[in-house]
A and B are shown apart, each in its own frame.
Chain A
């Protein structure tokens, strides 16, 4: 009886061992497969461009980074384009320390980041839009009124020509590029009194649309019918108004390199050429961002 038990133990152990060897073997084959792909690229003379382009940074730029990566890969199948979304500051840091080629940032570079060798390329513009729940009759605020709301000085929509309803102040978490751009526009850096600090654009949309009396700010390209859009100082956030700067609450989408584009590896240089080509710009436009005039 005991012997039999031991036998079974042994068999189990052997089975485990076999499984592990199998897994390790598969892994090895997998990595070999990658190698082979590389050597195919080398032998194929008709596609001269090889290499890698690594991006890291803003989650707001995820749609455009993914679209560009995909488009670029279709054009140059032997270039590996990878994109990580770790946040603007982390992306810039990654470029400056050399662990990524391009840092995606939804804010301009700070002086110390420029001093460390960061060079910015404004790829597109993003408007930041003030939204309320769809049932709110208020459709326009002045900049001063908006400031008063976000400082907690005005707490009821009645004071702004709306219904008798409490204002629920919704915003983004500290460190968010959207929050930074918004507070900078109102000159209220770190003075806002939020009732809700949510850590994604989607969460803000969900909270605002489901809470009567809520007000929040989101990226222009995620707008939908579940919320109402407010004009600021009489200017509605249309594509044209954002592009020309008439609607002032906007921020740039920036791709950061360490040193000028000309100093980058060939694959990265080609990526920037692609970005400015008709194909690249069409791709960007399709993702819903606003192309800046300066390009």
Chain B
């Protein structure tokens, strides 16, 4: 009975993998993998159709990287604060807030981003590009908005996992550091964080996974045009490429969307591989 239930997840992963490969591979043969991965022209319904997703892949990579760059320091310092410095009453406010942040549906992030963040971005865009003749104005729906939304969305993951890792650092380590005359800030940066390294890395990798896989929120704030990922350009991520065109796609176009899904799937697999590598290293170390 229990083993039957446990097998459900395995069966699901297995069938998804099989399905993604079965549906994603035919288009690769038909269009050519070089054409898909390294061409930057995405015109799926043109008479002379072109299915290049280079910009889409780049956007996912750059967008995720920037989101992590922005989200991880904030998350890590919040975790340090919660684990080391926060008075009990303040921690009692921050922790539920972080947990709540994790529970908010991604579409809410998207709608708020669209209603609040985008207009701000548009003001900024108008100031920065006031004299530009070539800039395409996006109304604030750009890479930067998506990065900010993603950074906020990965915060709960980063905070809760790094906090747990920081708390697991033996108190003797900190005590000896303090006894040797190091200040508490030095102790945090030189002793506690290095000691919690693998846990924090896990947090970062899981944050990357969350950011790569997010679709709903960023489809609302990123503008969804296929462009080179520059901060004030409207961009399309791997996930939003699937979401935005699946509804009406037919034939080869639909198959290429599955191929995009396969690329995303490979990304996630690689991230999971890195994660299990870290966990393994931790167990050995």
In the assembled complex, which residues on chain A have CB atoms less than 8 Å from the CB atom of B243? 199
Rounded to whole angstroms, the CA-CA distance of A89 and B252 in the bound complex is 12
Q: Are B248 and A203 interface neighbours, CB within 8 A?
A: no
Question: When A174-B43, A214-B139 are in contact, do A198 and B224 touch as well, CB less than 8 Å?
Answer: yes
Known: A166-B137, A196-B224, A214-B139. A175 touches B248 (CB 8 A): yes
- Interface size band for A: 35 or more
- A255 contacts chain B at the CB level, 8 A cutoff: no
Given the interface contacts A174-B45, A196-B225, does A90 sit within 8 Å of B250 by beta carbon? Answer: yes
Are B136 and A89 neighbours in the complex by a CB distance under 8 Å? Answer: no
- Interfacial chain B residues near A90, Cβ < 8 Å: 248-250
B113 CB to nearest chain A CB (Å): 12
Question: Which B residues touch A177, using CB under 8 A?
Answer: 248
Q: How far is the CA of A76 from the CA of B110 in the complex (A)?
A: 43
Q: Which one of B23-31, B114-122, B177-185, B197-205 is at the interface?
A: B114-122
- The interface residues of chain B lying within 8 Å CB-to-CB of A176 are 247-248
Q: Which residues of B contact A175 (CB under 8 A)?
A: 44-45, 245, 247-250, 253
**Which chain B residues lie closer than 8 Å to A190 at the CB level?**
43, 45-47
B122 to nearest A CB, angstroms? 7
Interface contact A210-B248, CB-CB below 8 Å: no
Asked if residues B1 and A196 are in contact (CB atoms below 8 Å), the reply is no
| B136 pairs with A87, CB closer than 8 A | no
Contact across chains for A195 and B247 when beta carbons are under 8 A apart: no
* Min CB–CB distance A19 → chain B (angstroms): 11
Enumerate chain A residues within 8 angstroms of B43, measured Cβ to Cβ.
174, 190
Q: Mark A139-155, 1 if CB is under 8 A from B, else 0.
A: 00000000000001001
B138 at the interface (CB under 8 A from A): yes
Within 8 A of B (CB), among A177-225: 177, 180, 189-190, 193-199, 203, 206-207, 210-214
A199–B2 Cα gap in the complex (Å)? 43
A210 & B138 in contact (Cβ 8 Å cutoff): no
B177-218 vs A: 1/0 string, CB under 8 Å? Answer: 000000000000000000000000000000000000000000
Q: In the complex, A90 Cα to B245 Cα: how many Å?
A: 12
- Could you say which residues of chain B place their CB within 8 Å of the CB of A59? 247
Q: Known A87-B249, A174-B45, A189-B47; judge A197-B224 contact (CB<8 A).
A: yes
Residues of A near B139 (CB, < 8 A) are 168, 170, 195-196, 207, 211, 213-214
A167 at the interface (CB under 8 A from B): yes
The answer to the question of A129 belonging to the interface, with a C-beta cut-off of 8 Å to chain B, is no
Cβ contact within 8 Å between B245 and A174:
yes
CB of A86 within 8 Å of the partner chain: yes
* A16 CB–B CB distance under 8 Å: yes
Q: Which of B47, B137, B220 is within 8 Å of A168, CB to CB?
A: B137
Q: What 0/1 pattern do residues 65 to 87 of A give for CB contact below 8 A with B?
A: 00000000000000000000011
CB distance from A156 to the nearest CB of B (A): 9
B44, B126, B224: the one within 8 Å of A199 (CB): B224
0/1 per residue, B232-269, Cβ < 8 Å to A? 00101000000111011111010000000000000000
Give the residue of B118, B133, B136 whose beta carbon is less than 8 angstroms from that of A169. Answer: B136
B179 CB to nearest chain A CB (Å):
45
Q: Does B64 interact with chain A (Cβ within 8 Å)? A: no
Q: Which residues of A contact B (CB under 8 A)?
A: 13, 16-17, 59, 86-90, 93, 152, 155, 166-170, 173-177, 180, 189-190, 193-199, 203, 206-207, 210-214
**A-B residue pairs in contact (CB < 8 Å), sample of 27:** A16-B1, A86-B247, A155-B133, A155-B137, A166-B126, A168-B139, A170-B139, A173-B245, A174-B245, A174-B248, A175-B247, A175-B250, A180-B45, A190-B47, A195-B137, A195-B139, A195-B225, A196-B139, A198-B224, A199-B224, A199-B245, A203-B220, A207-B114, A210-B115, A210-B118, A211-B140, A213-B137
